[in-house]
Amino acid sequence: MGKSEFRKPLVTHIYTADPSAHVFEDKIYIYPSHDLVNEGLDDGKGDHFQMKDYHVLSLDDIGAVCTDHGEALHIDNVPWASKQMWAPDAAYKNGKYYFYFPAKDKDDIFRIGAAVSDRPEGPFKPEPDYIQGSFSIDPAVFVDDDGRAYMYFGGLWGGQLEKWQTGEFVRGEEEMTAGEDGPQGTQTALGAMVAELNDDMLSFKTKPQEIKIHDENGKPLTADDKDRWYFEGPWMHKFNGKYYLSYSTGPTHYLCYAESESPTGPFKYKGRLMEPVVGWTTHHSIVEFKGKWYLFYHDSKLSGGQTHLRTVMHTELEIAPDGTITTIVPYE
Ligand code: FUB
């Protein structure tokens, strides 16, 4: 398939975003957010993202018609959650499919929940409480070749990551502008968090630790390095034995990636994965299918640029033997 055949909405009957793609049962399953039209304010704190449920999509093959398997989980069935079901992910282990999702709890604090199914498309049965020790948004679960599973998570501003710098949630002033309570200027930027999961895939084995991304001189990226800093949307892929953490830079709208010898880092910044798309957020996943690599991502073109009404799509990636990814220019 050429570039023009890719890079089109996978479905148009609903708005979808934040696609986490995995190969299960020889098909590509896509776990997106389900964007809804709403009156929420675009205030930099994400209040216009008021999602209430998840649909699972799948592709039998590249170029096939995308199937919507319908609602896989609704917020009304999650006892601990109050609102804002944001970017999810899924994993397979021990004969079960695990679905991970962030939502605000009854105290307006983002937590990460888990739900289980026998089928990749769900429906998923949520656990009664969120994963203890979890916080912030955008879970991405990576199961390594040795069977160990890691959850990457965390997002700034509306995702509340900077409110956890002391290890406890510090609410801050209501009128505070998004990001004011995080590191500034030449201070070290905050990183994504990583925690190893227990074999039950429903609890943390290790306390979440912050991932540092270093520049070409071995120095951690700083808060003013906004073309390269970590903002949200972590994803992990392994290529030729090395680990690649990719992520969104938020206000500068890039997708970037960094390389490590270990799934928990430290990582060295390696490059830009994708130039900005129409819309504010970029959020992606990377998956290998039948010997080729694909990027799943979203833009806001279908909704005329409304930042909270997005559509998932995919394209092929070119990865060199040393892990370097050719930067995607989305509309070329
Ligand atoms: O979909 C809501 C939020 O927008 C996600 O959690 C972020 O990654 C951004 O895409």
10 Å Cβ neighbour count for 57?
22
CA of 217 relative to ligand 1 center, distance in Å: 31
Query: Omega of the bond prior to 126 within 30 degrees of 0, cis?
Result: no
Element housing 93 (H / E): strand 89-93
137 Cα nearest atom in ligand 1: 6
Q: With a 6 A CB cut-off, is 232 part of the ligand 1 pocket?
A: yes
The catalytically annotated residue of 18, 89, 138, 259 is 18
Dump pLDDT digits (tens) for 158-169: 999 999 999 999
Dump pLDDT digits (tens) for 233-251: 999 999 999 999 999 999 9
Dump pLDDT digits (tens) for 13-42: 999 999 999 999 999 999 999 999 987 677
Dump pLDDT digits (tens) for 272-306: 999 999 999 999 999 999 999 999 999 999 999 99
Please answer whether residues 206 and 263 qualify as being in contact, where contact means their C-beta atoms are separated by less than 8 angstroms: no
Active site residue 232: yes
Across 42-56, 197-211, 229-243, 244-258, least confident range: 42-56
- 89-126 burial code (b ≥16 CB/10 A, e <16): bbbbeeeebbbbbbbbbeeebbbbbbbbbeebbbbbeb
CA of 162 relative to ligand 1 center, distance in Å: 16
How would residue 11 be classed by pLDDT, with cut points 50, 70 and 90?
very high
Please answer whether residues 99 and 88 qualify as being in contact, where contact means their C-beta atoms are separated by less than 8 angstroms: yes
Whole-number Å distance between alpha carbons of 210 and 8 = 35
Dump pLDDT digits (tens) for 56-68: 999 999 999 999 9
Kindly give, in sequence order, each residue whose CB lies less than 8 Å from that of residue 146, ignoring residues fewer than 6 positions away. none
Distances in Å between the Cα of 329 and the Cα atoms of 77, 80, 309, 323 are: 40, 40, 21, 18
Q: With a 6 A CB cut-off, is 137 part of the ligand 1 pocket?
A: yes
Question: DSSP assignment, residue 55?
Answer: E
pLDDT of residue 270: 98
Active site residue 26: no
Nearest to 218 by CA among 258, 247, 162, 183: 258
Strand bridging mode 232-239 / 242-248? antiparallel
